[in-house]
A and B are shown apart, each in its own frame.
Chain A
Amino acid sequence: MQPKENSMGGSEGFSVNDDCIGCVICAEIAPNNFRFDHEQGCGYVGKQPNTKKEVCLCIEAKDICPVSAIEVADEP
């Protein structure tokens, strides 16, 4: 079992909520941080960004997500 930072307000930083349609664009843009769960058909945060570049990519993924499913609790 792999807990995912996939829901509301559970952890700091980025998270993917249940509106995710599994288009995988987030994992394409920020592969170090977003992963795709093939069983559930949705993305999740595998690792919070810890460099400026990763943060930029995560923000880009958040902006481009077609269903606005990427949330950011506290700006990392």
Chain B
Amino acid sequence: MKQVISISLGSSEKDYQFETEFLGQDFIIKRFGTNGDMEKAAELLLKWDKVAEAIGIGNVNFPYGVGPRYLTKKHHHKLHELGTQVQTPVTTGSALRDVSFEWALRYIEYKFGNYFDNARVLFLSGMSNYRIAKVISEFTQNLSFADPVLENGIPKFVNSLKDLESYAHGAHEVLQWVPSKRLTTSVMPIKAWNDYILRKAMQKANIIVVPSYNFDRYLKDAALEELGGKTIITSTAYDERVVFCKERGVDVIIDTTPKILQRVVAPNVLEALIIAALGKNRDQIHPDDLLEIISEQKMDPRVVYPSGTPKRVNRFAFVIHPLSKEFLKKDKAVDMLSNFTPPAFLDAVEKVIAYAPPWVYSRVTGIKSPTGTEAEGWLITVGGTPKQMLAHSPEFTYTRLLQAARMAKRMGAQIMGLGAFTKVVGDAGVTVAKKADIPITTGNSYSACGALWAGAEAVRRMGLIEIKKGKRIQGKTMVLGATGAIGSVCCRLLAKAFYEVVMGGRNMAKLLALKESILKEDPEVKIKVTTRPDKFLKDMDVIVTATSGAGKKILDITKVKPGCVITDVARPLDLSPEDVAKRPDVLVIESGEIELPGNPEMKSIGLPHKVAYACLAETIVLALEGRFEVFTIGRDIEWEKVKEIYKLGLKHGMKLAAISGVNGVFTDEDIASVKQLALEARNEHAAAT
């Protein structure tokens, strides 16, 4: 039986000895901790020389991955010199560690899909984990390195790989001579300040890369606030480290060292085992040999979920805007001033605020899919009201949306949705999606889906139209804004269910083209097109308004049939509360709202708790699914995508929220009352004629 010995500068309390089989050979592996005693380590090295097949030296500070050549090799040379005095191959495991770092990260990115995209990653030692930083920089630019803080006691983080390289090649080297290093790590106020900013940086990060060597020292003061919900990348996550992380709420530990033996061992042990198994000297083993063994032995990185259940948190951003100048009164100062200033004051505020750069309105947390995946994000607001956006060129809004996209990316969002009027302006997201660095979606696919979902539910609950399973509904329906993105999909959906569909719009040629296209799919449906929809209003059982009128009067509600269900898909709404109040015998639903899974927390967006606009819900569904791609943009939405997002929504626990009107949620009593008034009005009308 071959012997592999690990001499560790770490604690002797963690010593072990066990037998194992590797590459068809039997091994006995023994660990000896020296509690930091170099003399003892040297003695052990000489003792096991020519006795063991290979010796690993553990718990040493690995050579830096970046920096001046002499510095990167400094520690390595000392050990190498020691190693040349003995005949048994000696290794620190640095070669395996380097190979396994890169392999582990690429494996995780491949297996979990977009795992590191735009994540905020804090490296406690960028110089030690330079290889990890190089790989991660392919997926995110949100990198932060604590080397100056932890190595030199300087309260400044390095914020890019390029700066880390400069620091490693120049500053770090010089700072080694500066006596203040010793001072700054011992002088209480500076040390306390460094500890404080390190904790703050940890709180801000999504992923923290912790070198195995200094794991306990760097994290000793970290608590739930710093580590809760985080992903930790390290090598050699011993059981006690997993317990430490569990107590501090860490979601995921990515251990770059594979666990191929019955217990977790350090890279030096694995590399010594490989050397012993191959019967070669350390210098004869090429990284390719290690990669081949990793691949053949299926030495995948270890993904540990300290809580016991798999966790994944994806991030999104969503752009909103004030719906009107009244909305600006939510700011107390504006509200107070508007009370005793002329109306022109609020107009001026509306104009000025349109020029403001985007800002974060609210953090969104607590969204949890039944699949276990979680989503968190930010609602970013631009300053322009719909009126202001229409008053400026589309480029005015594009500029602010691109600013919002840059902001979202820096905060770690992996996809950004365009809310309300921001997706109506110009080419409906095409330019923004082309120029932004993160995927963009308008949410229109789910908006269409949610509107019809709500409309169908409202018609069922009203019970004024007979619905027979497998047959077309013997009712008449109209879509206003039929040629628009959502309107055209509504027409297609209603044409599948209703006997007659009237399509209202401004462009007759577009209407006729849409009619032809729908008749090809559903030749049985009766379709009428009109640019003057008012004359059809009195006969319609269901009306969907999906225009981008931004406050213009779209339909005369007084002419609508009693008991009609109007689904207002437009944002801002096509029907004002005053209009709705004129017809208590008509059910006007705002449609499209979706109940989010889990226990979402965010500032009010004017909807009940847990409820979100469908366009926001689409962004969240895509985040939960990990589909970080441009999903819906432009004025035409694809039927296939509407179906897909509907199915994905159901998979992630999205539900139709209670049907809401301009005055809030409709109860069963509200709907019964509308129905009663409608029946009375119909009877009166019948009696009169």
Contacts and interface: CB of A to CB of B under 8 A. Distances in A.
Contacts of A4: 359
B201 A7 contact: no
Interface in A12-35: 15, 17-19, 21-23
Interface residues of A, number: 25
> What DSSP secondary structure best describes chain A's contact surface?
loop
Interface in B413-440: none
B159 A11 contact: no
Interface string B348-379: 00000100111111010000000000000000
B322 A66 contact: no
Interface in A22-76: 22-23, 39-41, 64, 66-68
B330 A1 contact: yes
Nearest to B163: A68
Interface string B390-423: 0000000000000100110011000000000000
A1 B360 CA distance: 10
Given A6-B357, A7-B357, A40-B363, A18 B197 contact: no
Contacts of A10: 356-358, 403
Contact of A1 (B200, B201, B361, B363): B361
B204 interface: yes
B139 interface: no
Contacts of B322: 1
Contacts of B203: 21, 41
B223 interface: no
Contacts of B356: 3, 10-11
Contacts of B156: 66, 68
Tell me which of B149, B156, B159, B360 has the highest count of chain A C-beta atoms within 10 A of its own C-beta: B360
A66 B197 contact: yes
A1 B407 contact: no
Contact of A21 (B204, B403, B407, B411): B204
A17 B410 contact: yes
A11 B144 CA distance: 26
A54 B361 CA distance: 28
Contact of A7 (B157, B200, B204, B359): B359
Nearest to A67: B157
A11 B357 contact: yes
A5 to B, nearest CB: 7
Given A3-B383, A9-B403, A66-B155, A23 B196 contact: yes
Nearest to A6: B359
Contacts of A7: 357-359, 403, 406-407
Contact of B381 (A1, A22, A41): A1
Given A8-B407, A23-B200, A68 B159 contact: yes
Interface residues of B, number: 31
Contacts of A23: 196-197, 200
Nearest to B352: A3
Nearest to B204: A21
Given A1-B328, A8-B407, A9-B403, A21 B353 contact: no
B221 interface: no
B410 A18 contact: yes
B331 interface: yes
Contact of A2 (B204, B331, B403, B406): B331
A18 B411 contact: yes
A17 B141 CA distance: 15
Contacts of A64: 155
Nearest to B400: A10
A27 to B, nearest CB: 14
Interface string B198-216: 0011011000000000000
Contacts of B410: 17-19
B200 A3 contact: no
Contact of B159 (A8, A19, A41): A19
B159 A67 contact: yes
Contacts of B157: 66-68
A8 B462 CA distance: 51
A8 B144 contact: no
A41 B356 CA distance: 20
A64 B381 CA distance: 29
Contacts of A68: 156-157, 159
Tell me which of A1, A7, A8, A67 has the highest count of chain B C-beta atoms within 10 A of its own C-beta: A1
A62 B225 CA distance: 27
Contacts of B407: 7-8, 18
B165 to A, nearest CB: 16
A68 B360 CA distance: 20
Contacts of B359: 2-4, 6-7
25 contacts: A1-B328, A1-B330, A1-B331, A3-B353, A3-B356, A6-B357, A6-B359, A7-B357, A7-B407, A8-B357, A8-B407, A9-B357, A10-B357, A10-B358, A10-B403, A11-B357, A17-B410, A18-B411, A21-B197, A21-B203, A21-B204, A23-B196, A23-B200, A66-B156, A68-B157
Given A3-B357, A15-B357, A67-B201, 15 more contacts: A1-B361, A2-B359, A3-B353, A3-B359, A3-B383, A4-B359, A6-B357, A8-B357, A10-B403, A19-B144, A21-B200, A64-B155, A66-B157, A66-B201, A67-B157
Interface of A: 1-11, 15, 17-19, 21-23, 39-41, 64, 66-68
Closest 10 CB pairs of A and B: A10-B357, A3-B356, A21-B200, A18-B410, A66-B197, A7-B357, A21-B204, A4-B359, A66-B155, A67-B157
